[in-house]
């Protein structure tokens, strides 16, 4: 079966004042339809750059991204993005924020009434239909992020890209939104790529966790398969051996093998990890 | 009242309102009184060739006399039109096919007519400037290349005094605006264009800054949902930079109002500037008092225009939390 989304041998070099800076080197990742992928790594390792390249917001220097046999050259609603800071238009109501996207994406295929129904359906999916007339500054951070997710889902994306979607939220709100995200992923079966810093979040939500080495020249270090049945329950998983094993693998990677330089220990194994990306099976 | 003040709780509640009462009314009044007093003292010590410098009292008198002039002129004008109407009616009664003539009353414009003319002129110039400046600012904000191309021109023309422009504008208007039945007077166009030239820049600069500073995520949302360039500007760029556009417009209008007075003096366009100039040339014992009335009027109108822009901004801007000063 052919790959749904193929991130193929990507290099990204930025021109800076002090010469070229190689942010990504040989990032290679194949994703199946319906998979939930987490990208995890230390700050500045180029996770967001990978996401932006898939979104089409940043071009890759070498290599490319192929989605369903078509190369990605520009941004588009088939790769909707949920931004870390929600990125809602502050002058538009909750409804109008989603409407802006829906009206643009479906201007040829949906009638006015269908659009309205579709907008409300997506806001209902994230439990926000009670606040459709509120302006973004009138609702909480968690609610804003829900609207951001509704807007992205309303584009009916082939791939949903989430850039640290819950990073700016408090722990309780984050847990609620993680549960909502799992439920929505279960219902709609979207393909999702999510950037996160949170190990528990990555293990709870993902089918695979892609761990990136530190920059410069960051690349895919290890991939952990999370073979946990869905639907997942965070309380039940707290004692689960597989869950904790996966968690352990990610923590090992982040805090013993790949501490950012400066904080690092006596570890010298970094080079080998970069050279041979290994896939760890956690069963 | 004395009973209630004795109640400590009530006192606590009264204190904040007392404070705001002090700030809103008493202190400004105190400031104004001190200013009037100082003015009176200084004025009584200045002798000019046109008599003593007017103090608050004379200025108040002149305000009244300017108002009386206005009422008198209006009365004359009304009578003129009444006579004209009667004459025409009589003519038509005699011969229904007679061609009748309507003439406008050509009396001297009063102080209040001059205010209206000035407001009309400044608004005309300001509107022209805004129509040019906002799109130009949006282009400069969106495209760094356009900004690099246009910025030097903005920086060079921005500090130019209106008086430097005026002779050029006068000549150009005389040469270009040739019409047998002119809709605008040439002097009016000259002042308005000079105002426009000077109040372009604050709006251009602030719009540019506003547009260039739009949150990158919002721009990226526009890219992801594939807005057309026009929709992008209308739905994202303009709303996002509305607060900065209004900051520019307010600065522009304030500049325009200042420039206008100078332009009217030199262009001999009817208006407050010309009023001041005429009074100065007139040189009667009332002149200085009348000029002082005009000075205060200019200040009050400038203040009112700024408040008006603030009001419009508060109606149009989504950024209600921004402190509007």
Cβ neighbours of A228 (radius 10 Å): 16
Mutate to test the interface with B, among A81, A138, A150, A168 (most CBs of B within 10 A): A81
With beta carbons less than 8 A apart as the criterion, state whether B53 and B46 touch.
Answer: yes
| Structural domain containing residue A271 | 34-56+157-282
With beta carbons less than 8 A apart as the criterion, state whether B318 and A90 touch.
Answer: yes
With beta carbons less than 8 A apart as the criterion, state whether A81 and A155 touch.
Answer: no
Q: Output the pLDDT for position A37.
A: 95
- The number of angstroms, rounded, from the C-alpha of B285 to the middle of its chain's C-alpha atoms is 29
With beta carbons less than 8 A apart as the criterion, state whether A146 and A177 touch.
Answer: yes
Nearest alpha-carbon partner for B266 in B169, B123, B192, B166:
B166
Q: Output the pLDDT for position B105.
A: 77
- Who contacts B321 (Cβ-Cβ below 8 Å, separation ≥6)? A137
What ipTM did this prediction achieve?
Answer: 0.85
Of residues A199 and B4, which shows the higher confidence score?
A199
As a whole-number percent, the residues of chain B with pLDDT over 90 amount to: 39
Tokens 């802006």 locate to A100
Lowest mean pLDDT among B9-18, B197-206, B212-221, B225-234: B9-18
pLDDT at A269 over 90: no
Return the residue of A nearest to B242 by Cα: A91
Domain annotation covers residue A272: yes
Residues of A in contact with B215 (CB under 8 A): 87
Half-sphere exposure of A236 (CA within 13 A, CB side): 6
Domain annotation covers residue B42: no
Residues of A in contact with B241 (CB under 8 A): none
Q: What are phi and psi of B231, to 5 degrees?
A: -60, -40
Q: Output the pLDDT for position A262.
A: 53
Q: Do A87 and B321 make contact, defined as CB atoms within 8 angstroms? A: no
* Count: domains in chain A: 1
Q: Output the pLDDT for position A261.
A: 61
Domain annotation covers residue B50: no
What is the longest distance spanned by two Cα atoms in chain B?
87
∠ CA(A116), CA(A117), CA(A119), 5° rounding?
65
The alpha carbon of residue A205 is apart from the nearest alpha carbon of chain B, in Å, by: 25
Q: Do B226 and A104 make contact, defined as CB atoms within 8 angstroms? A: yes
Residues of A in contact with B227 (CB under 8 A): 104
**What's the CA gap between A252 and A258, in Å, rounded?**
8
Return the residue of A nearest to B228 by Cα: A104
Classify B305 in phi/psi space as left (phi over 0), alpha (psi -120 to 50) or beta.
alpha
Q: Which residues of A touch B (CB under 8 A)?
A: 55-57, 74-77, 79-81, 83, 85, 87, 89-92, 100-101, 104-105, 135, 137, 151, 155
As a whole-number percent, the residues of chain A with pLDDT over 70 amount to: 90
- Print the SS3 string covering chain B: CHHHHHCHHHHHHHHHHHHHHHHHHHHHHHHHHHHHHHHHHHHHCCEECCEECCCHHHHHHHHHHHHHHHHHHHHHHHHHHHHHHHHHHHHHHHCCCCCCCCCCCCCCCCHHHHHHHHHHHHHHHHHHHHHHHHHHHHHHHHCHHHHHHHHHHHHHHCCCCHHHHHHHHHHHHHHHCCCCCCCCCHHHHHHHHHHHHHHHHHHHHHHHHHHHCCCHHHHHHHHHCCCCHHHHHHHHHHHHHHHHHHHHHHHHHHHHHHHHHHHHHHHCCCCHHHHHHHHHHHCCCCHHHHHHHHHHHHHHHHHHHHHHHHHHHHHHCCCCCCCCC
B318 CB within 8 Å of a chain A CB: yes
Q: What is the pLDDT of residues A60-97, one digit of tens each?
A: 999 999 999 999 999 999 999 999 888 999 999 999 99
The CATH code of the domain that includes A247 is 3.40.50
A192, containing H or E segment: strand A191-196
Q: Output the pLDDT for position A273.
A: 40
pLDDT band at A217 (very low <50, low <70, confident <90, very high): confident
- Who contacts B18 (Cβ-Cβ below 8 Å, separation ≥6)? none
Question: If you count them, how many residues does chain B have?
Answer: 325
The overall average pLDDT reported for chain B is: 86
Domain annotation covers residue A66: no
Of residues B293 and A274, which shows the higher confidence score?
B293
A218: β partners: A24
Domain annotation covers residue B184: yes
With beta carbons less than 8 A apart as the criterion, state whether A105 and A113 touch.
Answer: no
Nearest alpha-carbon partner for B208 in B157, B254, B152, B144:
B144
- Selecting from A56, A83, A151 the residue whose C-beta is nearest the C-beta of B217 gives A83
**What's the CA gap between A130 and B44, in Å, rounded?**
70
Q: Output the pLDDT for position A173.
A: 87
Q: What's the mean pLDDT in B210-233?
A: 93
The alpha carbon of residue B210 is apart from the nearest alpha carbon of chain A, in Å, by: 15
* Count: domains in chain B: 1
Return the residue of B nearest to A52 by Cα: B220
Q: Do A90 and B231 make contact, defined as CB atoms within 8 angstroms? A: no
Domain annotation covers residue A8: no
Q: Do A90 and B224 make contact, defined as CB atoms within 8 angstroms? A: no
Lowest mean pLDDT among A98-102, B2-6, B94-98: B2-6
Tokens 């009001």 locate to B311
| Structural domain containing residue B259 | 111-316
Q: Do A135 and B221 make contact, defined as CB atoms within 8 angstroms? A: no
Mutate to test the interface with A, among B221, B226, B315, B319 (most CBs of A within 10 A): B221
Q: Output the pLDDT for position A264.
A: 44
pLDDT band at B3 (very low <50, low <70, confident <90, very high): very low
With beta carbons less than 8 A apart as the criterion, state whether A207 and A39 touch.
Answer: no
Tokens 């994703």 locate to A31
The CATH code of the domain that includes B224 is 1.10.3720.10
- Who contacts A22 (Cβ-Cβ below 8 Å, separation ≥6)? A11, A12, A13, A216, A217
Domain annotation covers residue B33: no
Coil, strand or helix: which one is A171? helix
B231 CB within 8 Å of a chain A CB: yes
Q: What's the mean pLDDT in B98-103?
A: 75
Of residues B140 and B183, which shows the higher confidence score?
B140
**What's the CA gap between A65 and A58, in Å, rounded?**
11
B220 CB within 8 Å of a chain A CB: yes
Which whole-number Å values give the CA distances from A237 to A174, A180, A280, B42, in the listed order? 17, 17, 20, 86
**CA torsion sign, B109 to B115 to B121 to B124?**
negative
Q: Do A137 and B321 make contact, defined as CB atoms within 8 angstroms? A: yes
Q: What is the pLDDT of residues A154-197, one digit of tens each?
A: 999 999 999 999 988 888 888 989 998 998 899 888 999 999 98
- Selecting from B220, B239, B318 the residue whose C-beta is nearest the C-beta of A57 gives B220
B233 CB within 8 Å of a chain A CB: no
As a whole number of Å, the CA-based R_g of chain B is 26
Domain annotation covers residue B74: no
- Who contacts B255 (Cβ-Cβ below 8 Å, separation ≥6)? B198, B199, B201, B202
Q: What are phi and psi of B189, to 5 degrees?
A: -60, -40
Domain annotation covers residue B130: yes
């Amino acid at each position: 079966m052919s790959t749904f989304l193929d991130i193929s041998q990507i290099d990204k070099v930025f021109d800076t004042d002090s010469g070229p800076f190689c942010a990504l080197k040989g990032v290679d990742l194949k994703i199946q339809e319906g998979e939930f992928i987490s990208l995890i790594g230390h700050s500045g390792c180029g996770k967001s750059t990978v996401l932006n390249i898939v979104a089409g917001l940043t071009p890759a220097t070498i290599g490319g991204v192929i989605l369903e046999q078509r190369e990605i050259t520009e941004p588009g609603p088939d790769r909707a993005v949920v931004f870390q800071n929600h990125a809602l238009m502050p002058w538009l109501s909750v409804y109008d924020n989603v409407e802006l996207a829906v009206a643009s994406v479906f201007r040829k295929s949906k009638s006015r009434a269908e659009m309205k129904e579709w907008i409300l359906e997506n806001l209902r999916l994230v439990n926000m239909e009670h606040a459709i007339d509120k302006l973004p500054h009138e609702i909480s951070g968690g609610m804003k992020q829900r609207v951001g997710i509704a807007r992205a889902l309303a584009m009916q994306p082939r791939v949903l890209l989430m850039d640290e979607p819950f990073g700016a939220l408090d722990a309780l709100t984050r847990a609620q939104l993680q549960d909502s995200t799992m439920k929505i992923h279960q219902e709609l079966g979207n393909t999702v790529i999510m950037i996160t810093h949170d190990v528990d979040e990555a293990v709870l939500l993902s089918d695979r966790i892609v761990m990136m080495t530190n920059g410069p020249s960051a690349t895919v270090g290890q991939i952990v398969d999370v073979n946990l049945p869905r639907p997942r329950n965070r309380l039940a998983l707290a004692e689960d051996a597989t869950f904790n094993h996966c968690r352990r693998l990610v923590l090992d990677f982040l805090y013993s093998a790949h501490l950012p330089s400066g904080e690092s220990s006596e570890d010298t194994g970094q080079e080998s990890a970069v050279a041979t990306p290994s896939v760890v099976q956690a069963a | 009242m004395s009973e209630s003040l004795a109640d400590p709780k009530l006192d606590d509640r009264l204190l904040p309102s007392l404070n705001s009462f002090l700030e809103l009314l008493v202190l400004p009044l105190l400031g104004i009184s001190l200013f009037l007093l100082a003015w009176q003292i200084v004025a009584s010590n200045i002798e000019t060739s046109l008599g003593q410098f007017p103090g608050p009292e004379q200025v108040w008198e002149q305000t009244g006399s300017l108002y009386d002039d206005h009422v008198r002129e209006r009365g004359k004008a009304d009578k003129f039109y009444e006579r004209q109407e009667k004459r025409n009616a009589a003519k038509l009664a005699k011969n229904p096919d007679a061609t009748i003539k309507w003439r406008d009353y050509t009396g001297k414009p009063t102080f209040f007519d001059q205010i209206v003319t000035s407001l009309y002129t400044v608004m005309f110039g300001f509107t022209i400037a805004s129509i040019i400046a906002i799109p130009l600012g949006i282009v400069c904000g969106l495209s760094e290349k356009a900004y690099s191309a246009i910025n030097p021109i903005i920086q060079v023309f921005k500090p130019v005094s209106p008086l430097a422009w005026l002779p050029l504008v006068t000549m150009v208007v005389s040469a270009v605006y040739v019409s047998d039945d002119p809709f605008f007077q040439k002097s009016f166009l000259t002042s308005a264009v000079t105002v426009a030239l000077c109040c372009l820049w604050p709006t251009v600069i602030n719009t540019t800054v506003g547009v260039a500073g739009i949150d990158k995520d919002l721009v990226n949302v526009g890219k992801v949902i594939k807005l057309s360039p026009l929709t992008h500007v209308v739905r994202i760029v303009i709303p996002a930079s509305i607060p900065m556009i209004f900051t520019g417009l307010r600065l522009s209008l304030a500049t325009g109002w200042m420039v206008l007075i100078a332009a009217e003096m030199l262009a001999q366009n009817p208006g407050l500037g010309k009023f001041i100039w005429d009074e100065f040339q007139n040189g009667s014992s009332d002149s200085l008092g009348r000029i002082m009335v005009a000075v205060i009027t200019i200040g009050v109108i400038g203040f009112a225009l700024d408040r008006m822009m603030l009001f419009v901004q508060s109606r149009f801007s989504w950024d209600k939390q921004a402190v509007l000063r």
